[in-house]
Amino acid sequence: MKMTFRWYGESDPVTLENIRQIPGMVGIVSAIYDVPVGEVWPVEKLQALRDRIERAGLKFEVVESVPTHEDIKLGKPSRDRLIANFQQNIRNCAAVGVKVICYNFMPVFDWTRTEMAKELPDGSTTLSFDAAEVAKIDPEKGISLPGWDASYKPEELKALLEEYKSVDEQKLWANLEYFLKAIIPVAEEVGVKMAMHPDDPPRPIFGLPRIMKNRDDYARLIGIVDSPSNGITLCSGSLGADLCNSVESMVREFGAKGRIHFGHLRNVKVEADGSFYESTHRSCDGSLDMAAIVKAYYDTGFDGYWRPDHGRMIWGETGKPGYGLYDRALGAVYLNGLWEAVSKYGRA
């Protein structure tokens, strides 16, 4: 297991030097953030990012994420040009030593939350999702949520939602198949593993189709192009937001097949109606048994990349919600402790 940490570049208040001091930390997960979605990332920018990370004593072997343009998901005529750009991004990432690329196929919205700073009893704040609040939203009248909807102007978002009215799950699967058959051979050629992130939360929202929600969806994904380069980012927090998903079972199944290329470790506290908030990483604080999940990774011989996913904001820290230093560092140390314990005393 290789412990990594997400970093948003020089504008990130968390520094590489901070990250390097977390016990067991070996790598950085990052991306190029100043190139428009769908365009090619210059090799020079990627090399400069790698050089900066390596000067701090860390490795840059995982990209999260290369964004998938909406025209690809919609299956528009422009997709072939955009797919060609995505293929080139895979080649360029490989040229600087990247081994894994995380990406997703979520229409319009990436992770969706209703509150960015829900206060917990201990005074920390965290990201949360209120199912009842989302259910009341009429997309026709506009959507106002923190986070990803800020990527679009109101008229742009309305037009995009209108385009998706003609795309159901079957059509989205067809568009994904077209995409995978174009990019996976390139990934194979250059030795990169593509790692599909699940929907977050793993359910339809605002009438949009969602096709990476559960075990069956992931099995279908890896069956489209049967290649070691076609794998998954197993995000425990995203999948675990649906209590019908057994994250431990999924780790065992897809880990045994060698298709988990990247692990996101996050715990969530889930309510019966599907509402949830992001808890500490500890098993006792959330709905997921993180100790059992870590053991499943160990039992299946996982030797890939992990990262502590979103954390609470604690000790007065400010900055990008979910991506502070302190709680993610605590999460990394906790996960390292579970791994050490199972490796010494919990062999299957």
What is the rounded CA–CA span in Å between residue 347 and residue 344? 7
What architecture is the 2-345 domain classified under in CATH? Alpha-Beta Barrel (3.20)
Give me the pLDDT at residue 147, please.
60
What is the rounded CA–CA span in Å between residue 297 and residue 289? 13
Lowest mean pLDDT among 149-158, 167-176, 221-230, 281-290: 149-158
pTM of the model: 0.96
The Cα-based distances of 35 to 3, 43, 45 in angstroms read 27, 12, 10
- pLDDT classification of 347: cutoffs 50, 70, 90: low
Mean pLDDT of 35-54: 98
What is the rounded CA–CA span in Å between residue 43 and residue 53? 15
Question: Both ends of the chain: CA-CA distance in Å?
Answer: 17
Domain boundary assignment for the chain = 2-345
Mean pLDDT of 142-146: 76
Give me the pLDDT at residue 110, please.
86
Q: Which residues are catalytic?
A: 197, 235, 264, 309-310, 323
Q: What percent of the chain has pLDDT over 90?
A: 89
Give me the pLDDT at residue 284, please.
94
Q: Could you give the angle at the alpha carbon of 31 between the alpha carbons of 193 and 77, nearest 5°? A: 75
- pLDDT classification of 151: cutoffs 50, 70, 90: low
Mean pLDDT of 54-59: 98
Whether the predicted pLDDT of 345 surpasses 60: yes
Phi-psi region of 142 (alpha: psi -120 to 50; beta: other; left: phi over 0): left
